[in-house]
Structure 1
Amino acid sequence: MGLYSGKENVVLPNEQDLGAAANVVVRLCKSIKHNENYCVFFDNCYSTIPLVAYLAQQGILSIGTVRRNRIVDCTLLTKKEFKNEERGYCMLEYMKE
């Protein structure tokens, strides 16, 4: 695994451009074996839905916190509502069909 130490936005040949931060994660994940249950963790500077979807397509699990302004057309609880929930609360409404 590598370390990120720059501002460059590198898009590898035949890769989607997922944005500067997400492209860093994609580039660093190149050495991870696909479909081997590896999980990548990243913070809200790197988390986007397209990145998580891309990694899932590549057979790489991922977990990250997300900023409210990076989720298009998704209604989240307000900070006040969220604080009223018990510790460990998880909102799984998106899984209902």
Structure 2
Amino acid sequence: MVVEIIRYDIAPEAADSFLQAYREAGEYLTRSAHCLSYEVLGGVEEPNHFIVRIEWDSLEGHLQGFRAGPDFQPFFARVRPFYSSILEMKHYSVMSRS
């Protein structure tokens, strides 16, 4: 399993549209056999910061499975308007968990 972290800086007037985009895009994530779970986190101290955390079965499952599959294009169409607001988009390994 790998975790994809996408950090966003979203202008306050775009926050509702951003959240709606991920509500719609989430349908395509949950349909993918490669996506184990996902969540959208909102900043408490910095309300314009959001994190999207997606658990993938593997790096290959994300990059070659999901991105090459039928759900990627409709997923990306929903979130594309916020692509320029990305601060970080990386994959991580879980090193410890409670």
TM interval, shorter chain, is under 0.3
Q: Which structure has greater helix proportion?
A: 2
State the structure with more CA Rg. Answer: 1
Q: Which has the higher contact order (CA 8 A, sep 6+)?
A: 2
Q: Which structure has greater strand proportion?
A: 2
